[in-house]
């Protein structure tokens, strides 16, 4: 039996009829942009996250750019972002006119600490993109206590819970992605911004609609960036299942640990009192590519997602820190390996993964 790295379809199979009915309703209603499903989803999603407002946008990358613009980030500013993340976390910064400044991560949690953020702060720092990577939770309140607003990048953390609440309600403003493979995935691209600051929410609504509040006056250069009715209708069927899916992801991580995986490789460590809905279950080992090949031979998929951290990408050349400045990032990039996890992964599959890793370690 093969164990796939991720499985976005099994969990939604029981919802198929309701999803199809919702899609037919949208088709019959004939309203495809900013209609009743988007409005209802915005309310429902805000409530789940614990923020007072949610604003649907086109994808999780533009969600970051628009959130930064809403905070007033522009030319001449610096925005701090971890280099060990999905590329889009940093790619979203230059379109505001600001430049990315890369901070390090803790290679055991894969999250930036407030100290690591502080180490690269300058008088030009206007905001921080704090990434809740792999579903783990960044210390947003500690970072904001340094005196800069945070955009939480929640793309990988739908369903995670921390002691101070859920990602998306921990700081000034937050971005979310509904890309199909994420913990809460639509049938295409989609994203949202959450905030409990009414003024910021109004700025986001203005920016997502070409910089206009009334569709008559265009006060700023904005974006054409909306969540569409079809995606919102699909997401409304899925949203009530999110907490169950998240529990399964958290329990799967727990089970990996109970099965002794931690004796074979370094397990990802949740940050203070967090219950991560692991989007990816990322372990660390000295020779991850060899391990991947060995477990692959027994049908277990795995992948090193960020072998080249963002600051090493050619497009980021101008903003690359000196070699050796990001030791936690370099270590995480070299050693990490994502093992299978999903909202429906079975106990047998988890056992098969651990057995494969054990057999590989014995060789």
Ligand X SMILES: *Cc1c(COP(=O)(O)O)cnc(C)c1O
The binding site for ligand X (CB under 6 A) comprises 59-61, 85-86, 88-89, 131, 153, 155-156, 177, 179, 189, 191
C-alpha span between 200 and 171 (Å, rounded): 12
Q: How far is the CB of 61 from ligand X (least distance, A)?
A: 3
* Residues 302 and 339: beta-carbon distance below 8 Å: yes
Q: Is the dihedral of CA 252, 244, 184, 94 positive or negative?
A: negative
Closer residue to ligand X in complex, CB, 148/280? 280
Q: How far is the CB of 157 from ligand X (least distance, A)?
A: 9
Q: Indicate the pairing of strand 191-195 with strand 53-57.
A: antiparallel
Q: How far is the CB of 163 from ligand X (least distance, A)?
A: 22
Q: How far is the CB of 109 from ligand X (least distance, A)?
A: 15
Question: Can you state the percent helix, strand and coil of the chain, rounding each to 5?
Answer: 40, 15, 40
Closer residue to ligand X in complex, CB, 264/341? 341
Q: How far is the CB of 237 from ligand X (least distance, A)?
A: 19
Closer residue to ligand X in complex, CB, 156/352? 156
C-alpha span between 224 and 208 (Å, rounded): 6
Query: What residues contact 240, with CB distance under 8 A and at least 6 apart?
Result: none
Closer residue to ligand X in complex, CB, 69/352? 69
Q: How far is the CB of 134 from ligand X (least distance, A)?
A: 9
C-alpha span between 202 and 215 (Å, rounded): 14
Closer residue to ligand X in complex, CB, 160/352? 160
Closer residue to ligand X in complex, CB, 155/230? 155
- Of 122, 88, 104, 59, the C-alpha closest to 313 is 88
Closer residue to ligand X in complex, CB, 53/91? 91
Q: How far is the CB of 88 from ligand X (least distance, A)?
A: 4
Query: CA-CA-CA-CA torsion for 317, 321, 325, 329, nearest 10 degrees?
Result: -40
Token digits for 319?
Answer: 């903003």
The number of helices, as runs of H, and strands, as runs of E, in the chain is 12, 9
C-alpha span between 296 and 210 (Å, rounded): 48
C-alpha span between 45 and 159 (Å, rounded): 11
The DSSP output letter for 322 is: P
Q: How far is the CB of 360 from ligand X (least distance, A)?
A: 28
Q: What is the distance between the terminal CA atoms of the chain, rounded to a whole angstrom?
A: 21
* Residues 292 and 265: beta-carbon distance below 8 Å: no
- Of 323, 326, 279, the C-alpha closest to 303 is 279
Q: How far is the CB of 176 from ligand X (least distance, A)?
A: 8
- Of 298, 270, 290, the C-alpha closest to 334 is 290
C-alpha span between 4 and 349 (Å, rounded): 9
- The residue number whose beta carbon is nearest to ligand X equals 60
Closer residue to ligand X in complex, CB, 125/225? 225
SS3 category, 247 = helix
Closer residue to ligand X in complex, CB, 63/161? 63
């Amino acid at each position: 039996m093969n164990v796939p790295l991720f499985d976005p379809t099994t969990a939604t199979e029981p919802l198929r009829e309701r999803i199809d009915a919702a899609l037919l309703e949208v088709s019959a209603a004939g309203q495809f942009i900013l209609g009743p499903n988007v409005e209802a989803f915005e309310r429902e999603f805000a409530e789940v996250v614990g923020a007072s407002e949610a604003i649907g946008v086109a994808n999780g990358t533009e969600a970051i750019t628009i959130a930064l613009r809403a905070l007033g980030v522009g030319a001449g500013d610096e925005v701090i972002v971890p280099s060990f993340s999905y590329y889009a976390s940093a790619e979203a910064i230059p379109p505001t006119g600001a430049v990315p400044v890369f901070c390090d991560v803790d290679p055991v949690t894969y999250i930036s600490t407030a100290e690591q953020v502080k180490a690269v702060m300058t008088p030009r720092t206007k905001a921080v993109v704090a990434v809740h990577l792999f579903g783990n939770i960044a210390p947003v309140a500690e970072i904001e206590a340094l005196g800069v607003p945070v955009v939480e990048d929640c793309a990988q953390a739908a369903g995670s819970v921390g002691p101070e609440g859920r990602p998306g309600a921990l700081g000034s403003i937050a971005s979310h992605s509904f890309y199909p493979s994420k913990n809460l995935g639509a049938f295409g691209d989609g994203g949202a911004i959450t905030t409990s600051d009414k003024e910021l929410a109004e700025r986001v609504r203005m920016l997502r609609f070409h910089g206009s509040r009334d569709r008559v006056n265009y006060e700023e250069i904005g974006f054409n960036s909306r969540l569409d009715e079809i995606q919102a209708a699909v997401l409304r069927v899925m949203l009530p299942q999110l907490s169950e899916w998240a529990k399964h992801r958290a329990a799967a991580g727990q089970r990996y640990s109970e099965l002794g995986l931690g004796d074979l490789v370094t397990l990802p460590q949740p940050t203070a009192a967090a219950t991560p809905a692991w989007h990816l279950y990322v372990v660390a080992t000295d020779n991850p590519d060899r391990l991947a090949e060995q477990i692959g031979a027994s049908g277990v998929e795995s992948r090193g997602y960020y072998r080249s951290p963002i600051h090493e990408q050619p497009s980021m050349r101008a903003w690359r820190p000196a070699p050796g400045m990001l030791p936690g990032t370099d270590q995480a990039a070299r050693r990490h390996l994502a093992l299978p996890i999903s909202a429906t992964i079975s106990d047998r599959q988890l056992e098969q993964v651990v057995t494969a890793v054990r057999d590989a370690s014995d060789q």
